[in-house]
A and B are shown apart, each in its own frame.
Chain A
Amino acid sequence: MPDPLKERLHGFVKTKIRESGKPVPPDFSEDTPIISSGLLESLHLLELAVLLEKEIGSPLDLTALNIDKEWDSINAISNFVERSRSETPHNIIRQA
């Protein structure tokens, strides 16, 4: 059965790749690196962050983020979202 979260992520990532004028690689999969490969442009990262906040249902804990590792493929992002949903509270942000 298709995973609805992964389907939404697929849709988002492919749309953004096309918006930046690049073709989606024919062998694009859930394990394709999207950040380190440059497929996802810097301008789209903020949009991805906002999408993930919606999926998780709370602001991202920026102090614990390892975007380069945790968001580099659809599978990695999906794991990140599942893990973040199960961890409460999500909105602890170190402040001074």
Chain B
Amino acid sequence: MNYRIVNYDPVYNDQICELEKELWSRDLDINKSYLRWKYLENPYSDLPKLYLVLYGEKLIAVRGLYEWPFGLNGDSFPALCSADLVIHPEYRSKGLYPELMDFIMSDLHDEGYTYLLSFSAGPTALINSLALGWKVIGRMKSIHTQFYIRPVTKKLTDPVTVNKLIKRVVTTKILRKPPSPPRIREELWRSTNNLPANVEFGYDPKPGEMARLISGLDTSGKVVLVRDEKYFGWRYRNPLSGYFFLYWQDTELRGYLVAQTPLFMAGSMGNFNVLELEGQSPEIKKELMKALLSLLDFRSATVWSGMLDDNVRRYLMASGFKERSTAKSVAEFNETVLIRTTDKDNDRIEFHGTNLLDVNNWDFKMTYSDFY
């Protein structure tokens, strides 16, 4: 087949967004905003890393890599996170994917990149990535509550609450109609009256304060994403997601929680994912989770277990969260973190002597994944 692989060129923006309808949204304009946010406005890379496969002038495949810096004990390294692979249905099963990845590996190696990560591979991409030399760092375990209900004694005596519960069961479980994003926003805002005095609700990040808080937290020799002011100023402007923030503060910001809900995935709308939970003490984190539960009100929530301190995890389990069962087969979706190097002659995956294949050397947060 006579095709060529080229680096990103804005002339193909419309075709990229059309092809990505399979992964992003069905709306071309929203996809254009997403492309702009994820690749063009990414504060860590000057040039978007999007690789295009063209057949004549027709775009038949895309692979994106977005750049994020990871740090360990004060040093950092740039990593490219692999995402957004789409091959036009008519050109699948023609050996395109391995050739595209070969091109990308050699291009990135020439540009001086060493590490590639992947947080969002589905089962087919996962197994094919393994066939091309990627390695699994770990599969993410999460805890989840299907339909969070505040203590029964308080709730079932209140007719307004019972009415709300019936309405939500009918719309989400029977009619399977997710609430619209503006309605979720409005409902959340109304519930913020119940928050404790130290906890503030917001729809916008506080980049400077959040970055200051993070820089003072102990990362205990773990590899972490560098979350600086630039990061917070950019990360939560993703147009495919809705976010809200809970801040724990007295004289200064001492903790925060970031929750996300997808805006265009019908099956997942109304479920809240806890992308970050940070605080100067386990107590602060627990209070933030308690505040989140007071806002959920019959909605579901998910959090990666590895992000939680023991006391917060115990609190959530006692509040009705349950462990999501581990995938029984490679064909079942389970968030998996993959890594590889661009160096064909050196398959040691380490940074300053730390083995990057060992999941215990990382502090993974849900915010690292471009699913959210």
Contacts and interface: CB of A to CB of B under 8 A. Distances in A.
A76 interface: no
A59 B137 contact: no
Contacts of A42: 92-93, 97-98, 124, 128, 131
B253 to A, nearest CB: 27
Contacts of B97: 42
B118 to A, nearest CB: 13
Contacts of A5: none
A45 B127 CA distance: 7
A60 B334 CA distance: 13
B329 A65 contact: no
Interface string A20-59: 1000000000000001001001110110011001000001
Contact of A93 (B139, B305, B331): B139
B359 interface: yes
Nearest to B306: A96
A46 to B, nearest CB: 5
B47 interface: no
Given A53-B330, A96-B140, A46 B127 contact: yes
Interface residues of A, number: 23
Contacts of A41: 93, 95
B141 A96 contact: yes
Interface string B308-332: 0000000000000000001111110
B348 to A, nearest CB: 15
A60 B128 CA distance: 14
A20 B94 CA distance: 8
A11 to B, nearest CB: 19
B304 interface: yes
Given A45-B128, A46-B127, A94 B95 contact: no
A38 B336 CA distance: 25
A59 B304 CA distance: 21
Given A38-B98, A45-B128, A49-B330, A68 B133 contact: yes
A20 B93 contact: yes
B71 interface: no
Given A53-B330, A68-B133, A62 B128 contact: no
A12 to B, nearest CB: 15
A86 interface: no
A59 B93 contact: no
A13 to B, nearest CB: 14
A45 B131 contact: yes
Given A42-B97, A46-B128, A96-B337, 8 more contacts: A38-B98, A42-B124, A46-B124, A62-B139, A63-B135, A63-B137, A68-B132, A95-B359
25 contacts: A41-B93, A42-B93, A42-B97, A43-B124, A45-B127, A45-B131, A46-B128, A46-B331, A49-B331, A50-B329, A53-B330, A59-B329, A62-B130, A62-B336, A63-B136, A65-B130, A67-B130, A93-B139, A94-B138, A94-B139, A95-B140, A95-B359, A96-B304, A96-B305, A96-B306
